Amino acid sequence: MYSPMTKNVVALFGSNLLGGNTDKLLMEAIRGVEDAGCTVQRINVARENLAGCSQIYSCMFEDRCSNEDGVNKYHTMLKEADGLIIATPVMTYGIPGQLKSFMDRCQPFYMAKYFRKKSFITKEHAKIRRTLFICIAGMNTPDVFIGPVLTTKAYCEIIDAKYGDELLQNDMDTILKIENKPDIMKAAYEKGRALGEAIAKARE
């Protein structure tokens, strides 16, 4: 359950590629969060053996998912977190499948908040919780982030973790390595640190 002493951030990593460009930005953001005095729990979503939502809607009446494949422990982590980092590449103008499926599996949050009118997150805790969204895309098109951003904003609303900031970098097919954009690497650290500092300040 929520503890006023945790100052904990959950980092959702949506890529299959460990050590790639998305991972490097996430690690910089995590470093910033930790330097601000918060702890980070990272979930490599694409490497978790979680099923998609079966849409049986038992969560309309229960506080947990009835599919006992391990997802409920992640729901507990999300409930207790003071902040969230979501880091992902764009796939076909959207969120990659495994990460989108993970978001869909948070249906118990939706049912608690909107169907039973009793959110898992208290109003006090919701004031603290915020999300940093990090997203990269290969293409250099003006609308490439519209889908991922809209999906993430909806997800943040459902789990009561305000969409607070974002770091979006397109044209990676040309840039190739994120190290070629030191300003973006620096921004990832600074935005992570700002997230951690905001959480720490809210706890004072």
The span from the CA of 104 to the CA of 189, in Å, is 29
- pLDDT at residue 2, as a whole number: 42
CB 112, CB 78: distance < 8 Å: no
The span from the CA of 19 to the CA of 29, in Å, is 14
Burial 153-182 (b: 16+ CB within 10 A, else e): eebbebbbbbbbbbbebbebeebeebeebe
> What is the full DSSP assignment across 67-109?
--SSHHHHHHHHHH-SEEEEEEE-BTTB--HHHHHHHHTTHHH
Residue 98: which of 38, 168, 152, 46 has the closest Cα? 46
- pLDDT at residue 204, as a whole number: 79
- pLDDT at residue 1, as a whole number: 42
Burial 105-132 (b: 16+ CB within 10 A, else e): bbbbbbbbbeeeeebbbeeebeebbbbb
Report residue 60: phi and psi, to 5°: -65, -30
Q: In what order do the strands lie in the sheet with 39-44?
A: 39-44, 8-13, 83-89, 130-136, 162-169
- pLDDT at residue 203, as a whole number: 85
pLDDT in tens, the chain (204 residues): 445 457 999 999 999 999 999 999 999 999 999 999 999 999 999 999 899 999 999 999 999 999 999 999 999 999 999 999 999 999 999 999 999 999 999 999 999 999 999 999 999 999 999 999 999 999 999 999 999 999 999 999 999 999 999 999 999 999 999 999 999 999 999 999 999 999 999 987
Which strand (E) or helix (H) includes residue 184? helix 182-203
Which strand (E) or helix (H) includes residue 168? strand 162-169
Helix (H, G, I), strand (E, B) or coil at 41: strand
Two tokens at 201? 């300040």
Domains of the chain are 8-203 (3.40.50.360)
